[in-house]
Amino acid sequence: MTALVTENLVKRFGGVQATDNVSLTVEDGQLHAIIGPNGAGKSTLIGQIAGEIAPDSGHVALLGKDVTTLSVFARANLGLARTYQITQLAKEFTALDNVLMATNARASHNFSFWKNAHDDSDAVSHSLAALAKVGLLDAKNRTVAELAHGEQRQLEIAMALATGPKVLLLDEPLAGMSQGESAAMIALLKSLKGRYPILLVEHDMDAVFSLADRISVLVYGRIIASGTPEEIRNNVEVRAAYLGEEATA
Ligand code: ADP
Ligand code: MG
* Mutation test residue for ligand 1: of 13, 53, 216, 242, the one with most atoms within 8 Å of CB: 13
Architecture in CATH of 1-79+166-249: 3-Layer(aba) Sandwich (3.40)
The closest residue, in CA terms, to atom 26 on ligand 1 is 13
Could you write out the three-class secondary structure of the chain? CCCEEEEEEEEEECCEEEEEEEEEEECCCCEEEEECCCCCCHHHHHHHHHCCCCCCEEEEEECCEECCCCCHHHHHHCCEEEECCCCCCCCCCEHHHHHHHHHHCCCCCCCCCCCCHHHCHHHHHHHHHHHHHCCCHHHCCCEHHHCCHHHHHHHHHHHHHHCCCCEEEEECCCCCCCHHHHHHHHHHHHHHECCECEEEECCCHHHHHHHCCEEEEEECCEEEEEECHHHHHCCHHHHHHHHHHHHHC
Percent of the residues in the chain that have a pLDDT greater than 90, as a whole number: 82
The arithmetic mean of pLDDT across residues 131-156, rounded, is: 97
Ligand in closest contact with the CA of 18: 1
Ligand in closest contact with the CA of 17: 1
The closest residue, in CA terms, to atom 12 on ligand 1 is 18
Distance CA 149, CA 143 (A): 12
* Mutation test residue for ligand 1: of 9, 44, 201, 219, the one with most atoms within 8 Å of CB: 44
For residue 35, how far is its CA from the centre of ligand 1 (angstroms)?
15
The closest residue, in CA terms, to atom 6 on ligand 1 is 41
The closest residue, in CA terms, to atom 13 on ligand 1 is 39
Ligand 1, residue 201: give the atom nearest the CA: 2
Ligand in closest contact with the CA of 12: 1
pTM above 0.75, yes or no: yes
If pLDDT is split at 50, 70 and 90, which confidence band does 243 have? low
If pLDDT is split at 50, 70 and 90, which confidence band does 248 have? very low
| Per-residue pLDDT tens over the stretch 149-208 | 999 999 999 999 999 999 999 999 999 999 999 999 999 999 999 999 999 999 888 999
Question: Which region among 25-29, 120-124, 144-148, 204-208 has the lowest average model confidence (pLDDT)?
Answer: 120-124
If pLDDT is split at 50, 70 and 90, which confidence band does 104 have? confident
Domain positions in the chain are: 1-79+166-249, 89-165
* Mutation test residue for ligand 1: of 16, 46, 203, the one with most atoms within 8 Å of CB: 16
